[in-house]
């Protein structure tokens, strides 16, 4: 199923300041409301960008573009995402603005979730690659929803740890943050290359 093939790309969506922000908000003063607002903003952003990419891809396909042309476009997007991820691999320190998340408001958290998941370079490239991939295979629009939901599930992991494990979850969150800082780029590259292989295989076939 094409649906199963795109799901790993959800990890690429959250690797970086996206999941780090979720960790910081999960330990903020008003963590329940902040985390919920952040997830709402992220949900709106991912759904909107992937939907736009899907319908643009559908329009291009109906205008006469071949599946090979669509596959090449997807490969270009994936190559750009892989290059960006590789070049940013050494940026292990969280941005200075993340220190302000401890006292963030729900309104700020919503805006942050929307902006990070809609304007961050790897998220733009990944969302367009996923939307275009589904469109090129004539999959229905709703097939993007599992991708959106899995992305949100990844972003919700910090707050889920707190809800399920309490203090133990709070002690574990810094370890998650540190691991993501140092290893997420490797996993992202593997996932992107996996999707490149699928797309290239479709092009060759």
How many domains, in total, are found in the chain?
1
Give CB contacts under 8 A, 24+ apart, made by 82-90: 82/189, 82/192, 82/193, 82/196, 84/121, 84/122, 84/125, 85/12, 85/15, 85/122, 85/185, 85/188, 85/189, 85/192, 86/185, 86/189, 88/16, 88/185, 89/185
pLDDT of residue 167: 72
Give the range among 14-28, 147-161, 188-202 with minimum mean pLDDT.
Answer: 188-202
**Is pLDDT above 90 for 192?**
no
Report percent pLDDT > 70 for the chain. Answer: 81
Give the range among 14-18, 150-154, 180-184 with minimum mean pLDDT.
Answer: 180-184
pLDDT of residue 175: 75
Q: In the chain, what is the greatest distance between 2 CA atoms, to the nearest angstrom?
A: 57
pLDDT of residue 114: 96
Q: Tens digits of per-residue pLDDT, 58-99?
A: 887 666 556 667 778 878 888 888 888 787 776 656 666 677
Residues 6+ away with beta carbon under 8 Å from 193? 82
The residue segments making up the domain with residue 170 are 2-204
The whole-angstrom separation of Cα 46 and Cα 117 is: 6
**Is pLDDT above 70 for 104?**
yes
Q: Round the average pLDDT of the chain to a whole number and report it.
A: 82
């Amino acid at each position: 199923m094409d649906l199963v093939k795109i799901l790993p790309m959800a990890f690429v969506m959250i690797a970086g300041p996206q999941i780090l922000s979720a960790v910081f908000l999960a330990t903020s003063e008003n963590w329940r409301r902040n985390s919920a607002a952040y997830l709402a903003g992220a949900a709106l952003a991912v759904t909107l960008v992937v939907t736009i990419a899907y319908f643009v891809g559908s329009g291009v396909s109906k205008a006469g573009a071949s599946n090979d042309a669509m596959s090449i476009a997807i490969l270009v997007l994936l190559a750009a995402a892989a290059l960006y991820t590789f070049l940013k691999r050494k940026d292990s320190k969280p941005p200075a603005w993340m220190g302000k998340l401890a006292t963030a408001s729900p309104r700020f958290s919503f805006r942050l979730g929307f902006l990070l998941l809609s304007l961050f370079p790897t998220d733009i490239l990944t969302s367009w690659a996923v939307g275009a991939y589904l469109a090129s295979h004539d999959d229905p629009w709703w097939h993007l929803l599992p991708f959106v939901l899995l992305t949100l599930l990844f972003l919700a992991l910090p707050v889920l740890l707190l809800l399920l494990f309490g203090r133990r979850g709070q002690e574990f969150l810094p370890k998650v943050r540190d691991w993501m800082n140092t290893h997420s780029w490797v996993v992202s590259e593997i996932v992107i290359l996996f999707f490149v292989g699928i797309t290239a295989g479709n092009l060759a076939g």
